[in-house]
Amino acid sequence: MDRHPGLAPDTVTVLWCTTDGDERRKAHTLLVRAAAGMLDVPLSEIWLEHEEGGRPLLCGAGKPVQVSVTHGRGSLAVALTGGPSVGVDVEVVRPLRAEAMARAWLDPVETAWVTGLAEEERSTAFLWLWTQKESVGKALGRGLRRGGMSRRVPLPEAWPPGGGLPPVLRPLPADREVASAAVLVDGGRRVIGVAQCVGTGSEERSVATRVRVQRVSPAVCS
């Protein structure tokens, strides 16, 4: 297999862009093109199918690649890795009833963190956690069923996040075999969450699991 960093077991590559329509088709186009480029094979040798539960699955030459797709509100993102199963989610930062939503759905530790922030920061903070939870559910292949919203994810080490450093997947507090992270993109107008099932002995591995986030031109998806 091509040792492109996006296909290394310890790296997840996330590609995202804005779009003005047909988000699902464009996300699938980006996914297949990205996988073909990483594997250095013709597009005709890779095609996309879906598992019974809806999880995207690359076939043909794309079988070695674990993938995830997300789209909505004029954004789309795909995640690809040569490691275990992965999940990705993107949300547009927008005003929310963040305090009420946190109290209704989040773990008490997360709720205390969100409500302890300044009011103008709470919507972004809620989406920071939400995208990780969505991503974890996708990586596990079961969405937010079975308590997905109350499943704790790592809180940021500093807030507001910044510094220009790429995110590093960190293990979930109650499940060391799954790791997640989030990152603000587009000048803070969008947040992307990503997760990966890292398997046994996850603490050491997840610390080293890198996330490469790159914006691509909408033309790549057409």
What is the DSSP track for the chain? ----GGGSTTEEEEEEEE-SS-HHHHHHHHHHHHHHHHHT--GGGEEEEE-TTS-EEEEETTTT-EEEEEEETTEEEEEEESSS-EEEEEEE-----HHHHHHHHS-HHHHHHHHTS-HHHHHHHHHHHHHHHHHHHHHHTSTTTTTTTTS--PPPSSSS--SSPPPB-EEETTEEEEEEEEEEEGGGTEEEEEEEE--SSHHHHHHH-EEEEEE--GGGG-
Question: Does residue 221 lie in a domain region?
Answer: no
**Confidence (pLDDT) at 165:** 74
Q: Which domain holds residue 44?
A: 5-216
Q: What is the CATH number of the domain that holds 205?
A: 3.90.470.20
Q: Give the pLDDT score at 77.
A: 98
Q: Is residue 117 part of a domain?
A: yes
pLDDT at 2: 39
Domain count, the chain: 1
Is residue 177 one of the residues assigned to a domain? yes
Q: Is residue 189 part of a domain?
A: yes
Q: Looking at the domain assignment, is residue 207 inside a domain?
A: yes
Low-confidence ranges of the chain (pLDDT < 70): 1-6, 146-147, 163-164, 200-208
pLDDT at 4: 54
